[in-house]
């Protein structure tokens, strides 16, 4: 059973990653190209000065190579996320959340998107090339991971506290669950240090477009993961349900 779920998660994750890569290729790549052009123009303007970090001047991988790498990166990322999703689904199924497997898969994907993508994004949004100081990459990575972990922990707190109140009505449990998620996450949004490293003169529309493309890529990935995993699970459940009905027509 767990093996079936894991294989389903890996396959669906890979497919979801590739669907997201198609979206990213169409919507996000033009913005990356524009940002790299700006980065190179800025580097050319101050030619002669040494560059820190990794530059795009003498590429280890060509731009077409990086565009191909987009599919590799998102495919592998989808595989990883799909595997973890399947194991979480195996643990939660029949214990927490909606009884319908399809509804559980979609709910899990939506909650994971909010916790792992949306809230970290609100605090530390995605940045195109040319935005961000290479000196602070360590700090920015740590802060970003703190936000992701805070999102996951908040979900755990919300679900656990809502489950403790099993005697209460659904309205109370929902309110407690929402508060359990939102209070720590909003505290993180307010209290964690702000990162402001957009270079002067960087076009605001390009920054916005890139960030929308980035959020859209993640949204497509998680939506595809939840919906496809849900459809396959429903189908499998109906098949085993039918099989059981055929084998044992009279319930004992």
Which residues of this protein are in contact with another protein, per CB under 8 A? 1-2, 6, 21, 24, 28-29, 32, 53-54, 59-61, 65-74, 76-77, 79-81, 83-84, 87, 90-91, 93-95, 99-103, 117, 120-121, 124-129, 132, 134, 137, 140-141, 144, 210, 213-215, 217-218, 230, 233-234, 237-238, 241
Nearer to another protein, 31 or 111 (CB): 31
Burial of residue 134 (number of CB atoms within 10 Å: 0-12, 13-18, 19+): exposed
Residues contacting 138, CB < 8 A, separation 6+: none
Note whether 105 and 229 are within 8 A (CB): yes
Nearer to another protein, 100 or 175 (CB): 100
Give the C-alpha separation, 130 to 61, whole Å: 17
- Least distance to another protein, CB of residue 132, Å: 6
- Least distance to another protein, CB of residue 179, Å: 26
Note whether 115 and 247 are within 8 A (CB): no
Nearer to another protein, 102 or 183 (CB): 102
Residues contacting 57, CB < 8 A, separation 6+: 40, 43, 51
Nearer to another protein, 177 or 230 (CB): 230
Nearer to another protein, 36 or 179 (CB): 36
For 134, which DSSP code? G
- Least distance to another protein, CB of residue 74, Å: 5
């Amino acid at each position: 059973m767990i093996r079936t779920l894991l294989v389903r998660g890996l396959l669906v994750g890979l497919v979801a990653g590739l669907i997201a890569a198609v979206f990213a290729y169409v919507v996000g790549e033009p913005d990356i190209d524009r940002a790299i052009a700006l980065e190179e123009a800025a580097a050319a303007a101050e030619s002669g000065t040494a560059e820190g970090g990794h530059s795009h001047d003498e590429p280890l991988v060509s731009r077409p190579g990086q565009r191909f790498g987009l599919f590799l990166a998102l495919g592998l990322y989808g595989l990883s996320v799909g595997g973890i999703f399947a194991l979480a689904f195996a643990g939660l199924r029949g214990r927490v959340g909606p009884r319908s497997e399809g509804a559980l898969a979609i709910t899990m994907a939506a909650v994971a998107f909010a916790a792992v993508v949306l809230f970290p994004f609100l605090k530390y949004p995605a940045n195109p090339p040319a935005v961000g100081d290479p000196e602070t990459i360590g700090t920015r990575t740590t802060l970003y991971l703190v936000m992701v972990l805070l999102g996951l922990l908040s979900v755990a707190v919300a679900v656990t506290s809502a489950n403790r109140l099993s005697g209460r009505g659904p309205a109370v449990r929902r309110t407690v669950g929402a508060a359990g998620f939102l209070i720590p996450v909003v505290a993180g949004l307010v209290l964690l240090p702000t990162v402001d490293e957009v270079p002067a003169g960087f076009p605001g529309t390009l920054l916005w477009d890139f960030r929308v493309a980035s959020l859209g890529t993640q949204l497509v990935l998680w939506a595809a993961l939840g919906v496809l995993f849900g459809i396959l699970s429903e189908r499998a459940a109906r098949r085993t349900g039918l099989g059981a009905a055929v084998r044992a027509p009279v319930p004992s």
